[in-house]
Amino acid sequence: MFPRLTIGREVNRRVRFNKPARGGSTKPPAAVQQPASPRVDDVWEFRARAVQAHATNAKGTDMHSHYDLAVIGTGPAGQKAAINAAKMGKRVVAIEREPAVGGACIRTGTIPSKAMREAVMHLTGYRMRGIYGASYLVKKDITMHDLIFRCEHVVRHEIDVIKAQMQRNDVEMRFGAARFVDSHMLCIDASGGSDIVSADVFLIAVGSMPARPDNIPFERGRIIDSDGILELDTVPRSMIIVGGGVIGVEYACTLAALGTRVTLIDQRPRLLEFIDAEIAEALQYHVRQLGVRLCLGEAVADVSTDQSAVTAVLESGKRLCAHSLLFAVGRQGATQSLDLDAAGLSADERGRLRVDSQFRTAVPHIYAAGDVIGFPALASTSAEQGRLASCHAFGQPCPTVSAAMPYGIYTIPEISMVGPTEDQLTRDQVPYEVGVARYREIARGQLLGDQTGMLKLIFTQDTRRLIAVHVIGEGATELVHIGQAVIALGGTVQYFVDNVFNYPTLAECYKVAALDGINRSAAAHRRATERHANRPNTETPSESTTVGGEDLVDHESPVPAAPAIAPHITRVVRPAPRRPRRLPQTVAH
């Protein structure tokens, strides 16, 4: 007989130590005091029989456990959702396909790519070239082993941190490929057999994977996706990168700083169209300064390989050759193996799930968060989405997500932003003013050797309320959070003027930018006032209109004062108006 819903080991442990079950009272659960009602018992027995063939492990033992929340995936969204629910006293299981926790964020995505960037920035001496010159190097011959060594060190540490967090919060871990049996049951296929778990609530946080179109002949080490770049044996001499999104631009900058000849192809007329236009223009300039060739407004028609090179043919007819090619055009949700149909769900053509404002899918007790629901698909936003989803699932009060979500892009130089762009505000007809500070004006910028960084504040013209911050330069992803806090609290740029910042720090940029913006705003207001004062007065001041003996002149409205007359002048002589000259009349003969 397939085991019923009673959680034997959990009940025995709680009763033995006379401790309350998570979220319950000190008395034993109802399943220990009396048997379940026949009707409920029959329902679970029917379900158990239906899936018993899938739930038998290699030893022939039936496995079945019930949880308050089952989380599929242990990336940023899955981690925060599981831990948050466990802190509410819920019984939580987190299921991970790979043998280690962390998801693609830890293994192949965010952490490895940023660790590789930091290794390149250090070993090439790029940060100090503004001080010691363009020829400055920390290590002459940099190998992939040097880069991967740092990646592996950081990845191992992050995995240990996540495992400790899960254990500390009593989140049960299961490793294997999860798939839905029905809307309340999952089958976990592992190397040692299969297991069945049921839950009241599910959270799908499986993340995403690189898109691999059928017309691209992927080949290890030569034609690769973003996951395959960590498997390179040597640093490529040249590379074609297809796709000017975040991943493509980040790897283009990192490899170019390493000395690789990079050609970046994208169909759009500019890089990263969702960021501020001024920041994007500055980024394109710096990317070209790194030696990257930009082919914007171009599309790839064909990709082929031979023994010596990879060739990309563009729709415009151009032929580009390089040692390797990185295909970084989009990602798709990793939902193919979940059997969503069994749960009553369906994904779009890119494997993504549609959710409402509470991250609920079309099935009310199944939620989704992270990359699997699409933009912005950042680790930071995914973690917050997972936390909020678990709050909504169990009726826990939680604040509404602030519109001020920060974005961090680790190009060279790095970029960060919070709030709308100038183009968005113009389109929405929001009057705004801008204040700018440049790193070359800040002592800390000189100490860092960054001559090109910039911070831009955008605030309303009438109230000076801060609405956006855009930064490019060293430490941009750290610096943006000061502005994020002021935006979230509804502060104005006057806050930066009235407060003291440590010296020398990059945070001084906020004071400089605020003063710049306030000066611009004051100058514009002064010019408008002068134009109003110089406007000609069409009314005669000595005359007034009366109706019924009441003066209709508004005495409270300001009247422009007459120009002052010097004391020694007793009479003002006004020239007589000139009569228009009369033209001679012509007489018709």
State yes or no: pLDDT of 534 exceeds 60.
yes
Residue 39 has a pLDDT of 43
Residue 544 vs residue 192, higher pLDDT:
192
Residue 576 has a pLDDT of 53
Residue 408 lies in a domain: no
Same domain, 289 and 260: yes
Find the CATH number of the domain harbouring 324. 3.50.50.60
Same domain, 187 and 97: yes
pLDDT-derived band at 203 (thresholds 50, 70, 90) equals very high
Residues 6+ positions from 25 with CB-CB distance below 8 Å: none
Residue 65 has a pLDDT of 87
For 71-138, give the DSSP string: EE--SHHHHHHHHHHHHTT--EEEEESSSSSSHHHHHTSHHHHHHHHHHHHHHTTGGGHHHH-TT--S
CA distance 466 to 417: 13
Residue 397 has a pLDDT of 87
Residue 554 lies in a domain: no
Residue 575 lies in a domain: no
Same domain, 192 and 95: yes
Residue 548 has a pLDDT of 43
pLDDT digits (tens, 9 = 90+) for 406-432: 999 999 999 999 999 999 999 999 999
Residue 137 has a pLDDT of 87
Residue 528 has a pLDDT of 62
Same domain, 190 and 44: no
Give the end of a domain, one of 531, 563, 583: 531
Same domain, 423 and 524: yes
pLDDT-derived band at 530 (thresholds 50, 70, 90) equals low
pLDDT digits (tens, 9 = 90+) for 72-113: 999 999 999 999 999 999 999 999 999 999 999 998 899 999
Same domain, 195 and 65: yes
Residue 289 lies in a domain: yes
Same domain, 352 and 323: no
Residue 407 lies in a domain: no
- Structural domain containing residue 43: 1-52
Find the CATH number of the domain harbouring 504. 3.30.390.30
Same domain, 417 and 486: yes
Taking alpha carbons only, the member of 121, 187, 192 closest to residue 150 is: 121
State yes or no: pLDDT of 403 exceeds 90.
no
Give the end of a domain, one of 481, 516, 531: 531
Same domain, 85 and 171: yes
CB 194 within 8 A of CB 178: no
Phi, psi torsion values for 192, nearest 5 degrees:
-90, 5
Same domain, 418 and 510: yes
Largest CA distance in the chain: 132
Give the torsion through C-alpha atoms of 297, 110, 375, 212, to 10 deg. Answer: 60
pLDDT-derived band at 556 (thresholds 50, 70, 90) equals very low
Instruction: From residue 531, give the alpha-carbon distance in Å to each of 46, 303, 475, 524.
Output: 84, 62, 43, 11
* DSSP conformation class of 541: T
Residue 281 has a pLDDT of 95
CA distance 333 to 369: 11
Domain count across the chain: 4
pLDDT-derived band at 32 (thresholds 50, 70, 90) equals very low
Residue 193 has a pLDDT of 87
pLDDT digits (tens, 9 = 90+) for 485-504: 999 999 999 999 999 999 99
Termini Cα distance of the chain: 129
Residue 580 vs residue 526, higher pLDDT:
526
Residue 51 has a pLDDT of 43
Taking alpha carbons only, the member of 405, 407, 520 closest to residue 472 is: 407
Same domain, 121 and 248: no
State yes or no: pLDDT of 240 exceeds 60.
yes
